[in-house]
Amino acid sequence: MKKLALLTALALASAASAQSLSGTVTVWSWDAAAKALESTIPSFNKKYPNVKVNVVDLGNQNVYDRGLAGCAAGGADMPDVYSIENNEAEVFWARFPNCFTDLNTLGADKLAKNFPAFKWTELMAGNKRFAMPWDSGPVVIFYRRDLYQQAGVNANAIKTWDDFIAAGKKVNAKFDGKVKMGVVANGQDDEWFRMLANQNNCFYFDNAGTSVTVNKTGCVDALTTIKKLYDAQVVATGDWGGQITSFKAGRSASAMFGAWYEGTIRTNAPDQKGKWGVYPMPANKAGGVRAANLGGSALALPSSSKNKAAAYAFMENALATTNGQVTMLKSQGLVPSLLSATKDSYVKVAQPYWGNQKVWQTILDTLGDVPQARGTQYFQDARQVMIVVQADYIKGKYKTAKEALDDAAKKISSATGLPVAK
Amino acid sequence: MTTVPQPPARPHPVRKAGWWARTPKAPYLFILPYLIIFLTFWAWPILSSFMMSFKDSRLGDTAPFGLANWSRLVQDEFFRTALRNTLVILVIQVPLMLSLATVLAVALNSKLLKAAGWFRFAFFAPLVVGTVAYSAVFRLLFNTDFGMVNRGLTGLGLPAVDWLNQSGPAMTVLILAMTWRWTGYNAIILLAGLQGISEDVYEAASIDGATPWQQFWKITLPLLRPSLLFCLVLSVIGTLQLFTEPALITNSGPGNSTMTLGTYLYQQGFRSFNFGYASAIAYTVAAIAAIFSVVQLRLFGRDE
């Protein structure tokens, strides 16, 4: 009886505070992620009818650039809720420890156990929790069933990167080289390298963030594979926009990205419904790991926000409730990092766009195999070096991948001051 | 009522009034608002960024002074690449653009030209177009699969070029874009210079039997030198600070093959958030620009 009274009191109290929250919450985000956040507004407004949420889609790079500039200017012009990629997050906590609110002061410590522990690594500095985990980016291959079939390729038989290249040769032969197995942003981004390196349990830095490990075996194998893909002419080159143009025009037989790309394909090419499917990324060697992570983001709350309670309530509804996370999975294909949401019944539903494949099951099944990798505060320094070294290696400037990555390690080390790992 | 005894009158001062008293105050009061703005928004940031270049700003405000940034700059291969790319643009694009601008200015100055005002506007127009819009258009024109340029090339039976994903072609696109944007601007400055040349000189020359070709080389060009020098110095400084085109059209890529000093500085300052290092780069660029300007004035500005 006592318990019931207490519960009622609590419910009343929270209902009362829900009514009292008001004002506007401005959210900065990008592309599919922004649309996903928008899709959670109706459920949020059911609980907090007096808060107006305004999601601004600035584009990914702009959010980062303007966020750093805003923090440097002491929090000027910052939104109430700020989207941040896990890999890029630590530079903010390191350079501007006062720019964001410690979410523990708003009750985030109570939610900590609802997310996998690794998602918090890059979002914390000391005991402070500066952002709440949002989605993760388990990497898979998205492929056109019809194009594979016409070329005589069986997606289930592609188990290693060598299989993938062999399949690409068949696709080249069938379509006269006009359709490629993938589009790599070589020269613009090094995301293929990061995905393959992560798969091989290698990254720019070690997981303590204290030394440069980009010339270790796993990374060398990753870069070697990318070179092989180019030498076999099974991939084309193009940036983010070019990749979308390419699959819309039916010139990509497949694409590799974090699972959040699901929404990008589905919303950009609605006419290709039923033609697409998903399979796990090929392994470096037969029997090897077929999982990696690319991207995955979080939401932070700038200290300059004038409406922290409402901003936190919005974050909590979108990220820390099963309903919020599943809404974003349905609308834009953002893979939940909230543990309860990964077990939701929606995950087991066959998806008509994907030829009635249970794609979320396929995607989430890889999550447990993803090796950990840490961006550190020097992520951008390392990335800028790696973009160039990858492009130079593809161009033939280095003899071997090892030579290229030794040079990359040297450059990253001199840019960051971190030693190259022995 | 007693009178206060007056001190004996001081002898008339032999010394002139002090510097403070002699200086008229009014002019300084008038320029004071400008001085305050200058000191706050120009002098202070310039000084402060110079001091910042001696700090590893990644360590926070309390970082000790040191030479870390400068010693990194000396060894930094990416900085050398940015410098090399900038110089390549300087050596190819600036002479190309200025020659075109000179030809254009002479044509625009011709009495045979009808609707001269309209043409002048047309060639100046690229400068009025927003940089983001013009960059987007160039990206579309040079798109590998769907761009008009490649359509044209394949239409003529020539092979298509992967413009933005290869080093040489990407640099070509950059140079073409800059030339498109800035030639008209320089032509207008040169045109003003041309109109300053007296008709009498040409008249005398034609009476003496000089061909138009001789007139161009012997009269127009020498008398146009001050204007050309002005355009040259401005273009060189502009190229050393080049940012918009490589940032928006090629994104410094592929790799860093179109990375300029300007985009490298931006990358260090606003992507890696290393203001100290970015300041060191900025000061180096300023020094290079100063050296270039002095050299040009010495070489081409002799009798001025």
Q: What CATH number is associated with residue A197?
A: 3.40.190.10
List, for residues A351-385, the tens digit of each pLDDT value.
Answer: 999 999 999 999 998 888 888 888 888 998 999 99
Distance of CA A48 to the CA centre of its chain: 29
Residues of B in contact with A95 (CB under 8 A): 58, 60, 273
Nearest by CB: A187 against B75, B165, B267: B165
Q: Burial, B6: exposed, middle or buried (Cβ in 10 Å; 0-12, 13-18, 19+)?
A: exposed
Spatial separation of the C-alpha atoms in residues A170 and A64, rounded to whole Å: 41
A70 lies in some domain: yes
Q: Which of A228, A218, A229 is nearest to A254 (CA)?
A: A229
Interatomic CA distance for residues A205 and A416, integer angstroms: 11
Q: What is the pLDDT of residues A1-16, one digit of tens each?
A: 455 554 454 444 454 4
Report CA dihedral (A375, A381, A382, A384) to the nearest 10 degrees: 120
Residue-level pLDDT at B6: 61
User: Sorting pLDDT into bands at 50, 70 and 90, what band is B57?
Assistant: confident
- The reply to whether B58 touches chain A by the CB within 8 Å rule is yes
Per-residue confidence (pLDDT) for residue B166, from 0 to 100: 87
CB-count exposure of residue B2 (10 Å: 0-12, 13-18, 19+)? exposed
A384:B272 CB<8 A = yes
pLDDT at residue number B302? 61
User: Which residue, of A343, A361, A383, is where some domain finishes?
Assistant: A343
Burial A299-338 (b: 16+ CB within 10 A, else e): bbbbbbbebbbbbbbbbbbbbbbbebbbbbbbbbbbbbbb
Contact B271 A65 (CB under 8 A): yes
The reported pLDDT for the residue numbered A24 is 94
**What is the rounded distance in angstroms from the CA atom of residue A404 to the CA atom of residue A299?**
36
A69 occurs within a structural domain: yes
Q: Give the pLDDT confidence of A41-85 residue by residue, as tens digits.
A: 999 999 999 999 999 999 988 999 899 889 988 899 999 999 999
What does the angle CA B47 – CA B51 – CA B57 come to, to the nearest 5 degrees? 130
**Contact residues for A70 (Cβ-Cβ < 8 A; gap 6+):** A76, A77, A78, A99, A302
Other CB atoms within a 10 A radius of the CB of residue B84 amount to: 12
Task: Encode pLDDT of A286-311 as tens digits.
Answer: 999 999 999 889 999 999 999 999 99
Q: Is B61 on the interface with A (CB under 8 A)?
A: no
Nearest-CA distance from B165 to chain A in Å? 7
Same domain, A57 and A175: no
Under 8 Å between Cβ of A80 and A25 = yes
Q: How far apart are CA B27 and CA B18, in angstroms?
A: 18
pLDDT in tens, B283-292: 999 999 999 8
- What is the pLDDT at residue A405? 97
The reply to whether A357 falls in a domain is: yes
Residue B304 pLDDT level (bands cut at 50, 70, 90): very low
Whether residue A258 is found in the same domain as residue A302: no
Taking residues B134-154, what's their average pLDDT? 90
**Are both A403 and A358 inside the same structural domain?**
yes
The pLDDT score that the predictor gives to residue A12 is 45
CA distance B261 to chain A (A): 15
Q: How far is A387 from chain B (nearest CA, A)?
A: 6
Query: In this structure, are residues B237 and B289 in contact, taking their beta carbons and an 8 Å threshold?
Result: yes
With 0-12 / 13-18 / 19 or more C-beta atoms within 10 angstroms meaning exposed / middle / buried, residue B119 is: middle
> Given the DSSP bridges, would you call strands A23-29 and A81-85 parallel, antiparallel or unpaired?
parallel
Q: Is A189 on the interface with B (CB under 8 A)?
A: no
Question: Quick check: A335 pLDDT over 50?
Answer: yes
A331 and A383 inside one domain: no
Phi, psi of A115 (to 5 degrees): -120, 155
What is the structure's pLDDT at B264? 94
Looking at the fold, whether A104 and A217 belong to one and the same domain comes out as: no
Task: Write out the two tokens for B271.
Answer: 């992507």
Name the more confident of A254 and B128: A254
Instruction: Assess whether A285 and A188 both reside in one domain.
Output: yes
Q: Do A143 and A129 reside in the same domain of the chain?
A: no
Do the strands A124-125 and A128-129 form a parallel or antiparallel pair, or are they unpaired? antiparallel
Asked if residue B79 lies in contact with residue B281, where contact means CB atoms within 8 angstroms, the answer is yes
Cβ(B190)–Cβ(B231) under 8 Å? yes
A94 and A177 assigned to the same domain: no
Q: Final residue of a domain: which of A343, A362, A378?
A: A343
CB pairs under 8 A, 24+ apart, for B285-292? B285/B240, B285/B241, B285/B261, B288/B240, B289/B236, B289/B237, B289/B240, B289/B241, B292/B236, B292/B237, B292/B240
Same domain, A132 and A75: yes
Same domain as A326, residue A216: no
**Among candidates B167, B251, B254 on the partner chain, residue whose Cβ is nearest the Cβ of A186:** B254
Sign for the pseudo-dihedral over CA of B244, B250, B251, B252: negative
Phi, psi of A316 (to 5 degrees): -65, -45
Whether the full predicted model's pTM is greater than 0.90, yes or no, is no
**% of residues, chain B, pLDDT over 70:** 92
Instruction: State residue B14's pLDDT score.
Output: 54
Would residue A10 count as lying in a domain?
no
**A256 and A267 both lie in a single domain:** yes
3-state secondary structure A164-229: HHHHHHHHHHHHCCCCECEEECCCCCCHHHHHHHHHCCCCCECCCCCCECCCCHHHHHHHHHHHHH
Decide if A343 contacts A258 (C-beta within 8 A): no
User: Could you identify the residue written with the tokens 């009343």?
Assistant: A12
Complex-level ipTM beyond the 0.90 threshold: no
Q: Is B145 on the interface with A (CB under 8 A)?
A: yes
Q: Do A411 and B254 touch (CB under 8 A)?
A: no
Co-location of A389 and A402 in the same domain: yes
Domains of chain B: 77-300 (1.10.3720.10)
Domain end (from A343, A378, A406): A343
Please name every residue paired with A24 in a beta bridge, in sequence order, or none if there are none.
A52
Residue A32 domain-assigned (yes or no): yes
User: Which residues span the domain enclosing A235?
Assistant: 139-292+353-416
Q: Is the pLDDT of residue B17 over 60?
A: yes
The 3-state DSSP class for residue B55 equals: strand
How close B195 gets to chain A, by Cα (Å)? 46
- The verdict on residue A206 lying in a domain is yes
Mutate to test the interface with A, among B78, B173, B271, B281 (most CBs of A within 10 A): B271
Nearest CA in chain A to B256: A388
From chain A, pick out residues whose CB is under 8 angstroms from the CB of B76.
414
Examine residue A6 and state whether it is found in any structural domain, yes or no: no
Give the pLDDT band (50/70/90) at residue A17: low
CB A275 within 8 A of CB A240: no
pLDDT at A304: 95
Q: Which stretch of A8-12, A147-151, B75-79, B276-280 has the lowest confidence by average pLDDT?
A: A8-12
CA pair distance B81, B60, nearest whole angstrom:
29
Q: Which amino acid appears at position B18 of this protein?
A: G
Hey, what amino acid is at A303?
A: S
Of A3-12, B39-48, B150-159, the poorest mean pLDDT is in A3-12
| The predicted structure's pLDDT at residue B271 | 83
Which residues lie closer than 8 Å to A235 by C-beta, 6 or more apart?
A168, A180, A181, A182, A183, A184, A229
- At residue B55, the pLDDT reads 86
- Could you say which of B60, B78, B273 has the minimum Cβ distance to residue A68? B273
Residue A143: strand pairing partners: A254, A277
Cα dihedral sign, A164-A169-A170-A175: positive
- Report yes or no on A5 lying in a domain: no
The number of folded domains in chain A is 2
**Chain length of chain A:** 422
Task: Say how many C-beta atoms besides its own lie within 10 A of residue B215's C-beta.
Answer: 15
Contacting residues of B for A64, CB less than 8 Å apart: 271
| Per-residue confidence (pLDDT) for residue B23, from 0 to 100 | 82
Residues whose CB falls within 8 Å of the CB of residue A376, separated by 6 or more in sequence, listed in order: A90, A204, A205, A209
